[in-house]
Amino acid sequence: MTQAIRIHSYGGPDVLKWETVEVGDPASGQVRVRHTAVGLNFIDVYERTGLYAGALPSGLGREAAGVIEAIGPDVDDLKVGDRVAYTLSVAGSYSERRLAPADRLVKVPDFIDDRTAAAIMLKGLTARALLRRTYRVQPGDAILVHAAAGGVGLLMVQWAKRLGARVIAIVGSDSKAKLVKEHGADLVLLDTVDWVAAVRDYTNKQGVAVVYDSVGQATFMRSLDCLKPLGTLVTYGNASGPVAPFAPLELAKRGSLFVTRPILYHYISTRPELTEAAADLFDMVGKGAVRVHIGQTYALRDAAQAHRDLEARRTSGATILLP
Ligand SMILES: NC(=O)c1ccc[n+]([C@@H]2O[C@H](COP(=O)([O-])OP(=O)(O)OC[C@H]3O[C@@H](n4cnc5c(N)ncnc54)[C@H](OP(=O)(O)O)[C@@H]3O)[C@@H](O)[C@H]2O)c1
Protein backbone atom coordinates (compact mmCIF):
# COMPACT_ATOMS: atom_id res chain seq x y z
CA MET A 1 0.00 0.00 0.00
CA THR A 2 1.05 3.61 -0.45
CA GLN A 3 -0.24 7.15 -0.02
CA ALA A 4 -1.15 8.99 -3.22
CA ILE A 5 -3.10 11.93 -4.58
CA ARG A 6 -6.11 10.70 -6.56
CA ILE A 7 -8.95 12.40 -8.44
CA HIS A 8 -12.46 10.96 -8.72
CA SER A 9 -13.94 13.88 -10.70
CA TYR A 10 -12.69 16.83 -12.73
CA GLY A 11 -12.68 20.29 -11.21
CA GLY A 12 -10.78 22.76 -9.05
CA PRO A 13 -7.85 21.90 -6.75
CA ASP A 14 -10.26 20.52 -4.13
CA VAL A 15 -10.81 17.36 -6.22
CA LEU A 16 -7.29 16.25 -5.22
CA LYS A 17 -7.65 13.61 -2.49
CA TRP A 18 -4.84 12.10 -0.36
CA GLU A 19 -5.63 8.38 -0.21
CA THR A 20 -4.23 4.96 0.59
CA VAL A 21 -3.91 2.87 -2.57
CA GLU A 22 -2.65 -0.57 -3.53
CA VAL A 23 0.69 -0.65 -5.41
CA GLY A 24 1.54 -4.33 -5.68
CA ASP A 25 4.62 -6.04 -7.00
CA PRO A 26 6.22 -5.18 -10.33
CA ALA A 27 5.18 -7.30 -13.33
CA SER A 28 7.46 -8.23 -16.21
CA GLY A 29 9.46 -5.20 -17.38
CA GLN A 30 8.37 -3.10 -14.40
CA VAL A 31 10.02 -1.74 -11.27
CA ARG A 32 8.59 -0.22 -8.09
CA VAL A 33 9.95 3.24 -7.35
CA ARG A 34 9.88 4.98 -3.97
CA HIS A 35 9.61 8.66 -4.83
CA THR A 36 11.88 11.18 -3.13
CA ALA A 37 10.80 14.23 -5.16
CA VAL A 38 7.86 14.83 -7.51
CA GLY A 39 7.69 17.49 -10.23
CA LEU A 40 4.65 19.77 -10.61
CA ASN A 41 3.64 20.58 -14.18
CA PHE A 42 0.93 22.59 -15.84
CA ILE A 43 -0.27 19.45 -17.58
CA ASP A 44 -1.34 18.22 -14.11
CA VAL A 45 -3.82 21.12 -14.09
CA TYR A 46 -5.20 20.15 -17.52
CA GLU A 47 -5.66 16.58 -16.27
CA ARG A 48 -7.33 17.76 -13.07
CA THR A 49 -9.78 20.05 -14.89
CA GLY A 50 -10.55 17.50 -17.61
CA LEU A 51 -9.11 19.60 -20.47
CA TYR A 52 -7.06 16.46 -21.06
CA ALA A 53 -9.59 13.85 -19.97
CA GLY A 54 -8.81 10.20 -19.18
CA ALA A 55 -10.49 7.46 -17.19
CA LEU A 56 -11.50 8.21 -13.58
CA PRO A 57 -10.60 7.67 -10.82
CA SER A 58 -7.01 8.47 -11.65
CA GLY A 59 -3.66 9.35 -10.19
CA LEU A 60 -1.99 12.59 -11.17
CA GLY A 61 1.51 13.74 -12.08
CA ARG A 62 4.02 12.73 -14.72
CA GLU A 63 7.46 13.52 -13.35
CA ALA A 64 9.48 12.27 -10.39
CA ALA A 65 12.77 11.01 -9.02
CA GLY A 66 13.31 8.24 -6.52
CA VAL A 67 14.91 4.95 -5.61
CA ILE A 68 14.12 1.50 -6.97
CA GLU A 69 12.83 -0.77 -4.21
CA ALA A 70 11.64 -3.82 -6.22
CA ILE A 71 12.36 -5.25 -9.66
CA GLY A 72 10.04 -7.37 -11.81
CA PRO A 73 11.05 -10.19 -14.15
CA ASP A 74 12.92 -9.35 -17.38
CA VAL A 75 14.53 -6.16 -16.10
CA ASP A 76 18.27 -6.37 -16.74
CA ASP A 77 19.84 -2.96 -16.44
CA LEU A 78 18.40 -1.67 -13.14
CA LYS A 79 18.80 -2.92 -9.58
CA VAL A 80 17.30 -2.27 -6.16
CA GLY A 81 18.78 0.94 -4.75
CA ASP A 82 19.40 2.67 -8.09
CA ARG A 83 18.54 6.39 -8.19
CA VAL A 84 16.21 6.98 -11.11
CA ALA A 85 14.01 9.67 -12.64
CA TYR A 86 11.32 9.70 -15.28
CA THR A 87 8.55 11.42 -17.11
CA LEU A 88 5.68 9.11 -17.98
CA SER A 89 2.68 9.70 -20.20
CA VAL A 90 0.57 7.77 -17.69
CA ALA A 91 -0.25 9.94 -14.67
CA GLY A 92 0.60 8.74 -11.14
CA SER A 93 3.76 10.40 -9.85
CA TYR A 94 1.85 12.21 -7.05
CA SER A 95 2.44 9.20 -4.83
CA GLU A 96 4.94 7.83 -2.35
CA ARG A 97 5.44 4.71 -4.51
CA ARG A 98 4.39 3.53 -7.96
CA LEU A 99 5.06 0.87 -10.54
CA ALA A 100 6.81 2.08 -13.67
CA PRO A 101 8.07 0.53 -16.91
CA ALA A 102 11.83 0.05 -16.57
CA ASP A 103 12.52 1.17 -20.13
CA ARG A 104 11.10 4.64 -19.38
CA LEU A 105 13.44 5.30 -16.43
CA VAL A 106 16.89 6.83 -16.55
CA LYS A 107 19.58 6.54 -13.91
CA VAL A 108 20.38 9.87 -12.26
CA PRO A 109 24.07 10.80 -12.23
CA ASP A 110 25.68 11.57 -8.84
CA PHE A 111 26.11 15.24 -9.69
CA ILE A 112 22.32 15.77 -9.96
CA ASP A 113 20.30 15.74 -6.74
CA ASP A 114 16.83 14.23 -6.51
CA ARG A 115 14.90 17.51 -6.49
CA THR A 116 16.74 18.75 -9.56
CA ALA A 117 16.12 15.44 -11.36
CA ALA A 118 12.41 15.62 -10.52
CA ALA A 119 12.31 19.17 -11.86
CA ILE A 120 13.81 18.47 -15.28
CA MET A 121 12.58 15.14 -16.64
CA LEU A 122 9.42 16.64 -18.14
CA LYS A 123 10.33 20.33 -18.19
CA GLY A 124 13.98 19.98 -19.26
CA LEU A 125 13.37 17.31 -21.88
CA THR A 126 10.62 19.54 -23.26
CA ALA A 127 12.98 22.52 -23.41
CA ARG A 128 15.53 20.41 -25.25
CA ALA A 129 13.02 18.97 -27.72
CA LEU A 130 11.61 22.40 -28.54
CA LEU A 131 15.00 24.08 -29.02
CA ARG A 132 16.89 21.25 -30.69
CA ARG A 133 14.25 19.45 -32.74
CA THR A 134 10.88 21.25 -33.11
CA TYR A 135 12.70 24.31 -34.40
CA ARG A 136 16.47 23.96 -34.39
CA VAL A 137 17.72 27.25 -32.93
CA GLN A 138 20.70 28.72 -34.79
CA PRO A 139 23.36 31.10 -33.45
CA GLY A 140 22.16 34.66 -33.99
CA ASP A 141 18.45 33.76 -34.18
CA ALA A 142 16.15 36.15 -32.39
CA ILE A 143 13.59 34.06 -30.53
CA LEU A 144 10.58 34.82 -28.32
CA VAL A 145 9.82 32.77 -25.19
CA HIS A 146 6.48 33.22 -23.38
CA ALA A 147 6.07 32.45 -19.66
CA ALA A 148 9.85 32.71 -19.48
CA ALA A 149 10.05 32.61 -15.68
CA GLY A 150 8.13 29.33 -15.50
CA GLY A 151 9.33 25.78 -15.14
CA VAL A 152 9.93 25.14 -18.84
CA GLY A 153 10.51 28.80 -19.72
CA LEU A 154 13.46 29.46 -17.42
CA LEU A 155 15.27 26.38 -18.74
CA MET A 156 14.56 27.43 -22.33
CA VAL A 157 15.97 30.93 -21.84
CA GLN A 158 19.29 29.57 -20.61
CA TRP A 159 19.57 26.74 -23.14
CA ALA A 160 18.73 29.10 -26.02
CA LYS A 161 21.42 31.53 -24.86
CA ARG A 162 23.89 28.65 -24.83
CA LEU A 163 22.92 27.98 -28.47
CA GLY A 164 23.75 31.58 -29.34
CA ALA A 165 20.22 32.93 -29.68
CA ARG A 166 19.07 36.44 -28.82
CA VAL A 167 16.29 35.74 -26.35
CA ILE A 168 13.25 37.94 -25.89
CA ALA A 169 11.30 36.84 -22.82
CA ILE A 170 7.73 37.65 -21.77
CA VAL A 171 6.69 37.41 -18.10
CA GLY A 172 3.79 38.39 -15.87
CA SER A 173 5.47 40.46 -13.13
CA ASP A 174 8.48 42.62 -12.25
CA SER A 175 9.93 40.00 -9.92
CA LYS A 176 9.73 37.40 -12.69
CA ALA A 177 11.36 39.88 -15.08
CA LYS A 178 14.28 40.20 -12.67
CA LEU A 179 14.62 36.42 -12.40
CA VAL A 180 14.62 35.92 -16.17
CA LYS A 181 17.15 38.69 -16.65
CA GLU A 182 19.42 37.00 -14.09
CA HIS A 183 19.15 33.82 -16.17
CA GLY A 184 20.41 35.56 -19.29
CA ALA A 185 17.48 36.88 -21.35
CA ASP A 186 18.48 39.77 -23.63
CA LEU A 187 15.16 41.62 -23.53
CA VAL A 188 12.43 41.04 -20.96
CA LEU A 189 8.90 42.34 -21.53
CA LEU A 190 5.87 42.34 -19.25
CA ASP A 191 2.84 40.71 -20.82
CA THR A 192 0.86 43.90 -20.16
CA VAL A 193 2.85 46.00 -22.68
CA ASP A 194 2.44 46.03 -26.47
CA TRP A 195 4.96 43.23 -26.86
CA VAL A 196 4.32 42.74 -30.59
CA ALA A 197 5.56 46.30 -31.21
CA ALA A 198 8.48 45.81 -28.79
CA VAL A 199 9.55 42.59 -30.55
CA ARG A 200 9.38 44.26 -33.96
CA ASP A 201 11.42 47.24 -32.68
CA TYR A 202 14.05 44.98 -31.13
CA THR A 203 14.45 43.03 -34.39
CA ASN A 204 14.62 46.12 -36.66
CA LYS A 205 11.07 45.35 -37.91
CA GLN A 206 12.21 41.89 -39.09
CA GLY A 207 10.44 39.72 -36.52
CA VAL A 208 11.78 36.64 -34.74
CA ALA A 209 12.67 33.26 -36.24
CA VAL A 210 10.57 31.33 -33.74
CA VAL A 211 8.04 31.95 -30.99
CA TYR A 212 7.70 29.38 -28.19
CA ASP A 213 4.16 29.95 -26.94
CA SER A 214 2.87 27.98 -23.95
CA VAL A 215 0.19 30.52 -22.99
CA GLY A 216 -2.11 29.55 -25.86
CA GLN A 217 -5.49 31.23 -26.28
CA ALA A 218 -4.50 34.68 -24.96
CA THR A 219 -1.37 35.07 -27.08
CA PHE A 220 -1.62 32.88 -30.20
CA MET A 221 -2.55 35.46 -32.86
CA ARG A 222 -0.17 38.08 -31.47
CA SER A 223 2.60 35.49 -31.45
CA LEU A 224 2.06 35.04 -35.20
CA ASP A 225 2.47 38.81 -35.58
CA CYS A 226 5.97 38.60 -34.06
CA LEU A 227 7.40 36.24 -36.69
CA LYS A 228 9.58 37.02 -39.66
CA PRO A 229 8.59 35.51 -43.04
CA LEU A 230 8.87 31.71 -42.98
CA GLY A 231 9.09 31.87 -39.19
CA THR A 232 7.81 29.14 -36.89
CA LEU A 233 5.23 29.33 -34.13
CA VAL A 234 5.64 26.51 -31.66
CA THR A 235 2.38 26.42 -29.70
CA TYR A 236 3.08 23.92 -26.96
CA GLY A 237 0.75 24.73 -24.06
CA ASN A 238 -2.60 26.13 -22.96
CA ALA A 239 -1.96 27.99 -19.69
CA SER A 240 -4.62 30.61 -20.63
CA GLY A 241 -6.88 28.10 -22.42
CA PRO A 242 -6.68 26.09 -25.65
CA VAL A 243 -6.01 27.92 -28.93
CA ALA A 244 -9.16 28.59 -30.98
CA PRO A 245 -9.43 27.28 -34.56
CA PHE A 246 -7.84 29.64 -37.10
CA ALA A 247 -7.69 29.98 -40.89
CA PRO A 248 -4.45 28.80 -42.59
CA LEU A 249 -4.69 31.94 -44.71
CA GLU A 250 -3.57 33.84 -41.59
CA LEU A 251 -0.21 32.12 -42.00
CA ALA A 252 0.06 33.07 -45.68
CA LYS A 253 -0.78 36.73 -44.99
CA ARG A 254 1.96 37.04 -42.37
CA GLY A 255 4.74 35.53 -44.50
CA SER A 256 4.17 31.81 -45.21
CA LEU A 257 4.55 30.91 -41.54
CA PHE A 258 4.82 27.46 -39.96
CA VAL A 259 2.80 26.38 -36.93
CA THR A 260 3.43 23.21 -34.98
CA ARG A 261 1.78 21.80 -31.86
CA PRO A 262 4.34 19.39 -30.31
CA ILE A 263 4.02 16.96 -27.38
CA LEU A 264 7.21 15.84 -25.66
CA TYR A 265 6.35 12.13 -25.63
CA HIS A 266 6.48 11.94 -29.44
CA TYR A 267 10.11 13.09 -29.24
CA ILE A 268 11.21 10.46 -26.71
CA SER A 269 9.11 7.51 -27.81
CA THR A 270 12.09 5.18 -28.36
CA ARG A 271 14.60 4.18 -25.69
CA PRO A 272 17.57 5.66 -27.65
CA GLU A 273 15.71 8.97 -28.07
CA LEU A 274 15.00 9.09 -24.33
CA THR A 275 18.52 8.21 -23.19
CA GLU A 276 20.22 10.53 -25.68
CA ALA A 277 18.00 13.45 -24.68
CA ALA A 278 18.42 12.76 -20.94
CA ALA A 279 22.20 12.48 -21.26
CA ASP A 280 22.30 15.82 -23.09
CA LEU A 281 20.07 17.40 -20.46
CA PHE A 282 22.13 16.07 -17.54
CA ASP A 283 25.28 17.29 -19.27
CA MET A 284 23.85 20.81 -19.69
CA VAL A 285 22.86 20.91 -16.03
CA GLY A 286 26.09 19.28 -14.83
CA LYS A 287 28.31 21.83 -16.52
CA GLY A 288 26.18 24.73 -15.30
CA ALA A 289 24.98 25.84 -18.74
CA VAL A 290 21.42 25.45 -17.47
CA ARG A 291 20.74 26.22 -13.81
CA VAL A 292 17.63 24.63 -12.34
CA HIS A 293 15.74 27.13 -10.22
CA ILE A 294 13.34 25.45 -7.80
CA GLY A 295 11.21 28.39 -6.79
CA GLN A 296 8.99 26.60 -4.27
CA THR A 297 8.36 23.26 -2.60
CA TYR A 298 5.22 21.78 -0.98
CA ALA A 299 4.43 18.60 0.89
CA LEU A 300 2.96 16.15 -1.63
CA ARG A 301 -0.24 15.92 0.39
CA ASP A 302 -0.62 19.72 -0.09
CA ALA A 303 -0.56 19.43 -3.90
CA ALA A 304 -3.89 21.28 -4.09
CA GLN A 305 -2.21 24.43 -2.79
CA ALA A 306 0.58 24.03 -5.34
CA HIS A 307 -2.08 23.85 -8.07
CA ARG A 308 -3.75 27.02 -6.77
CA ASP A 309 -0.45 28.89 -6.84
CA LEU A 310 0.51 27.59 -10.30
CA GLU A 311 -2.82 28.60 -11.82
CA ALA A 312 -2.71 32.01 -10.11
CA ARG A 313 0.73 32.65 -11.67
CA ARG A 314 2.33 32.85 -8.22
CA THR A 315 5.10 30.30 -8.89
CA SER A 316 8.44 30.83 -10.60
CA GLY A 317 10.88 28.28 -11.95
CA ALA A 318 10.14 24.67 -11.08
CA THR A 319 7.94 23.43 -8.23
CA ILE A 320 8.69 20.26 -6.27
CA LEU A 321 6.25 18.20 -4.20
CA LEU A 322 7.86 16.26 -1.36
CA PRO A 323 6.46 12.83 -0.42
N1 LIG B 1 3.75 20.18 -25.22
C2 LIG B 1 4.45 19.60 -24.29
O3 LIG B 1 4.94 18.48 -24.43
C4 LIG B 1 4.65 20.33 -22.99
C5 LIG B 1 5.51 19.79 -22.02
C6 LIG B 1 5.70 20.49 -20.83
C7 LIG B 1 5.04 21.70 -20.64
N8 LIG B 1 4.20 22.16 -21.58
C9 LIG B 1 3.51 23.44 -21.42
O10 LIG B 1 4.47 24.41 -21.07
C11 LIG B 1 3.86 25.40 -20.26
C12 LIG B 1 4.71 25.62 -19.05
O13 LIG B 1 4.57 24.52 -18.18
P14 LIG B 1 5.15 24.59 -16.71
O15 LIG B 1 4.69 23.36 -16.02
O16 LIG B 1 6.59 24.93 -16.78
O17 LIG B 1 4.32 25.83 -16.09
P18 LIG B 1 4.87 27.29 -15.71
O19 LIG B 1 5.44 27.93 -16.92
O20 LIG B 1 5.74 27.19 -14.52
O21 LIG B 1 3.54 28.00 -15.29
C22 LIG B 1 2.71 28.59 -16.22
C23 LIG B 1 3.03 30.08 -16.43
O24 LIG B 1 2.27 30.54 -17.53
C25 LIG B 1 2.07 31.92 -17.39
N26 LIG B 1 0.68 32.27 -17.70
C27 LIG B 1 0.29 33.16 -18.63
N28 LIG B 1 -1.03 33.24 -18.67
C29 LIG B 1 -1.51 32.41 -17.74
C30 LIG B 1 -2.82 32.09 -17.30
N31 LIG B 1 -3.91 32.65 -17.84
N32 LIG B 1 -2.95 31.19 -16.30
C33 LIG B 1 -1.88 30.60 -15.75
N34 LIG B 1 -0.61 30.88 -16.14
C35 LIG B 1 -0.42 31.78 -17.13
C36 LIG B 1 2.43 32.29 -15.95
O37 LIG B 1 3.66 33.00 -16.00
P38 LIG B 1 3.63 34.63 -16.00
O39 LIG B 1 3.01 35.02 -14.70
O40 LIG B 1 5.06 35.01 -16.12
O41 LIG B 1 2.82 35.03 -17.18
C42 LIG B 1 2.61 30.96 -15.27
O43 LIG B 1 3.57 30.99 -14.25
C44 LIG B 1 2.43 24.94 -20.00
O45 LIG B 1 1.57 25.57 -20.90
C46 LIG B 1 2.52 23.46 -20.29
O47 LIG B 1 1.29 22.94 -20.68
C48 LIG B 1 4.00 21.50 -22.75
256 and 162 co-located in one domain: yes
Which amino acid residue places its CA nearest to atom 20 of ligand 1? 150
- Single residue among 246, 261, 276 that ends a domain in this structure: 261
User: Which pLDDT score is estimated for 267?
Assistant: 98
* Interacting residues of 153 by C-beta distance below 8 A, sequence separation 6+: 145, 146, 147, 169, 180, 214
pLDDT digits (tens, 9 = 90+) for 122-145: 999 999 999 999 999 999 999 999
User: Which pLDDT score is estimated for 27?
Assistant: 98
Ligand 1 centroid – CA 138 distance (Å): 24
What value does the mean pLDDT of the chain take? 98
81 and 105 co-located in one domain: yes
User: Which pLDDT score is estimated for 248?
Assistant: 98
pLDDT digits (tens, 9 = 90+) for 80-112: 999 999 999 999 999 999 999 999 999 999 999
What's the Rg (C-alpha) of the chain? 20
152 and 189 co-located in one domain: yes
256 and 158 co-located in one domain: yes
The torsion region of residue 317 among left (phi > 0), alpha (psi -120 to 50) and beta comes to: left
Percentage of the chain lying above the pLDDT 70 cut? 100
pLDDT digits (tens, 9 = 90+) for 182-240: 999 999 999 999 999 999 999 999 999 999 999 999 999 999 999 999 999 999 999 99
CA angle 228, 230, 236 (to 5 degrees): 85
- What confidence category does residue 289 fall into, taking pLDDT thresholds of 50, 70 and 90? very high
Atom of ligand 1 nearest to the CA of 43: 47
Ligand 1 centroid – CA 98 distance (Å): 26
Which amino acid residue places its CA nearest to atom 24 of ligand 1? 147
The C-alpha atoms of residue 131 and residue 277 are separated, in whole angstroms, by 12
pLDDT digits (tens, 9 = 90+) for 312-323: 999 999 999 999
Give the domain range for residue 201: 139-261
Q: Domain holding 296: CATH number?
A: 3.90.180.10
Give domain status of residue 131, yes or no. no
- Single residue among 240, 261, 282 that ends a domain in this structure: 261
226 and 306 co-located in one domain: no
Q: Ligand 1 pocket test: which of 60, 154, 214 has the largest number of ligand atoms within 8 Å of its C-beta?
A: 214
Q: Answer whether 315 contacts ligand 1 (Cβ < 6 A).
A: yes
- What confidence category does residue 253 fall into, taking pLDDT thresholds of 50, 70 and 90? very high
